Amino acid sequence: MFDQLKPQPADALLSLIKLYNADPRDSKIDLGVGVYRDETGGTPVFAAVKSAERRLIETQDSKAYLGPEGDVGFVAAVCDLALDGAVADDRVAGLQTPGGTGALRLAIELVVRNLPEATFWVGTPTWPVHMSILTGLGARVRTYEHFDVQRQAFNADAMLAAAREAGRGDIFLLHGCCHNPTGADLAPEHWREVAQILSANGAVPLIDLAYHGLGEGLGADAAGARHMIGALPEALIAYSCDKNFGVYRERTGAVFAIAADCAAAEVAGSNLATIARNNWSMPPDHGAAVARLILTDAELRVQWQDELQGMQARLSRIRQRLAACGKAGDVDLSHIAAQRGMFATLPLSPAAIAALRERHGVYMAGSGRINIAGLAERDCDRFAAALADVEG
């Protein structure tokens, strides 16, 4: 049987890690994999997470099954964190999921199974897994340009034109904040305009909120999503706690279906639970239990918010430092200050990306995406000089 299968390409970023690990140069810089790193290059466990884990070990009295909806206390706490009362609780059906990826999978499968005619509108470039889940499920997809990499410019006109073209029941995918891979977020007026257009044509937003708190802060980062769900009868939200709690491998996330009324929310929830049951039965518990403890304990919550704010401040500092370098050869780094979150995508040719790796030990994805957190402050000037060398 297995000789019938075609080999699949290895994950490009994982191959990059291997190359990076094999590079003996002390000065090497890893801008590839999308995890947060501190000034020393580590991805430490949050102190708030460690405290919650200790508490969990002492107090957890059972590991019996919970059910496809997972930890309902976690779901309620994340709902408050993300939506902050922007919509009545009884219009929201929420489920814990294995990470933001699981949340996206459930949201997309819910639509594809029940409304196969719906078109998903996706701005490009986007996180590649969006596309692979959509195409894997056979969804109808239309793309538009979210960001012009050469000009380093968000294409608001293309996004608004796509929103106008979307039909009733179509799904409009948006990154809630910290756009991956470009860092180019919608400004408040763009959220208002898209919400108005979708509300007029009956399309439904699917908001991927995977970096809540890493852009400008917990309030500002969710403001667009909150405005959107306040303005529309229906929406889907895929939420990841993996980055903002630093619990990547614990696979912690939630999906929310916001329905027009309480009865519709209940039906949406039952459909999501059935799909979850058929995919993974129920989500892994540990990360969600930890996040619930943190979010529902005043002291732990303050500690977590401080740590998250420290990450956000470091990302902003690196962005400022890079932007201050201005033009590095043909690449203008000044746009990086206005972008948000962990990523930027630079207009680099494959030859330049290879030269950065070979001549300077700078490792990045073939798309030109860089992980801002991969840079220590002291690396910024050296990185700009390396860019100038390969793109000069």
Measured in degrees and rounded to the nearest 5, phi and psi for residue 169 equal 80, -5
Helix (H) or strand (E) holding 144: strand 140-145
Shortest distance, CB of residue 286 to ligand PLP, whole angstroms?
A: 14
Helix (H) or strand (E) holding 252: strand 252-258
Q: Which stretch binds ligand PLP (CB under 6 A): 76-84, 97-105, 330-338, 373-381?
A: 97-105
Cis amide prior to 188 (ω within 30 degrees):
no
Tokens of 182: 């470009």
Taking the alpha carbons at both ends of the chain, their separation in whole angstroms is 52
Total count of residues recorded for the chain: 392
206 in Cβ contact with 238 (< 8 Å): yes
Which of 32, 36, 69, 101 lies at the binding interface for ligand PLP (CB under 6 A)? Answer: 101
Distance of CA 192 to the CA centre of its chain: 21
Q: Is 182 in the site for ligand PLP (CB under 6 A)?
A: no
Tokens of 266: 């209940």
Q: Which of 210, 289, 373, 376 is catalytic?
A: 210
What is the rounded CA–CA span in Å between residue 83 and residue 85?
6
Nearest to 121 by CA among 131, 113, 129: 131
Residues 288-327 that bind ligand PLP (CB under 6 A): none
What is the rounded CA–CA span in Å between residue 262 and residue 207?
21
Q: Is 210 in the site for ligand PLP (CB under 6 A)?
A: yes
Q: Which stretch binds ligand PLP (CB under 6 A): 15-23, 70-78, 94-102, 304-312?
A: 94-102
Is 47 a residue of the active site? no
Q: Which stretch binds ligand PLP (CB under 6 A): 95-103, 268-276, 329-337, 350-358?
A: 95-103
Shortest distance, CB of residue 48 to ligand PLP, whole angstroms?
A: 18
Tokens of 154: 């968000």
What is the rounded CA–CA span in Å between residue 376 and residue 373?
7
Nearest to 181 by CA among 342, 31, 317, 41: 342
| 3-state DSSP assignment of residue 75 | helix
Is 127 a residue of the active site? yes
Q: Is 185 in the site for ligand PLP (CB under 6 A)?
A: no
Contact characters 34-53, ligand PLP, x per CB under 6 A: x-------------------
| 3-state DSSP assignment of residue 232 | coil
| Cα–Cα distance list, 149 to 236, 330, 358 (Å) | 28, 13, 23
Cβ-based nearer residue to ligand PLP, 131 or 264: 131
Cβ-based nearer residue to ligand PLP, 96 or 303: 96
Q: Is 208 in the site for ligand PLP (CB under 6 A)?
A: yes
356 in Cβ contact with 390 (< 8 Å): yes
Q: Which of 103, 243, 291, 344 is catalytic?
A: 243
Is 210 a residue of the active site? yes
Q: Is 284 in the site for ligand PLP (CB under 6 A)?
A: no
Q: Is 224 in the site for ligand PLP (CB under 6 A)?
A: no
Residues 122-141 that bind ligand PLP (CB under 6 A): 127
Shortest distance, CB of residue 315 to ligand PLP, whole angstroms?
A: 14
Q: Is 240 in the site for ligand PLP (CB under 6 A)?
A: yes
Could you write out the DSSP letters of every residue in 328-389?
Answer: ETTEEGGGGGGS-SSEEE----HHHHHHHHHHH-EE--TT-EEEGGG--GGGHHHHHHHHHH
Name the residue whose CB lies closest to ligand PLP: 99
Shortest distance, CB of residue 238 to ligand PLP, whole angstroms?
A: 7
Which of 109, 242, 285, 391 lies at the binding interface for ligand PLP (CB under 6 A)? Answer: 242
Residues 342-381 that bind ligand PLP (CB under 6 A): none
Which of 180, 182, 339, 345 lies at the binding interface for ligand PLP (CB under 6 A)? Answer: 180
Applying CB under 6 A, the site for ligand PLP has a residue count of: 13
Q: Which stretch binds ligand PLP (CB under 6 A): 99-107, 160-168, 229-237, 379-387?
A: 99-107
Q: Is 253 in the site for ligand PLP (CB under 6 A)?
A: yes
Point out which residues bind ligand PLP (CB under 6 A).
34, 99-101, 127, 175, 180, 208, 210, 240, 242, 248, 253
Residues with catalytic function? 127, 208, 210, 243
